Homo-oligomer: A and B are copies of this chain.
């Protein structure tokens, strides 16, 4: 596979692979949200959230639109949530296996 394609795939995954950004994406499962709602919802610092959202926008994970003073954010492609679901499943099974090992001691 070509280097460029690989790099773009890595960028998509990188844009998801961070706790604050995961929290934002989880919030956006319920649809479009204003940045001003996201900040208190995940108890984040304004400038930090702003940067995380602009990063996800650059990687095309989310889109934004202006609504007066507010900026509304939504996830561009719902397949993002499929990925998040898979990650949850994988994690659940990892935790199960760790518990199994623990019981064997």
Contact = CB atoms under 8 A, between A and B. Distances in A.
A89 interface: yes
Given A3-B19, A19-B7, A83-B83, A12 B90 contact: yes
A13 B91 CA distance: 11
A6 B87 CA distance: 10
Identical copies in the complex: 2
Interface stretch (A48-56, A65-73, A74-82): A74-82
Given A79-B86, A82-B86, A86-B82, A91 B17 contact: no
Contacts of A83: 83, 86-87
A8 B77 contact: no
Interface string A92-105: 01100000000000
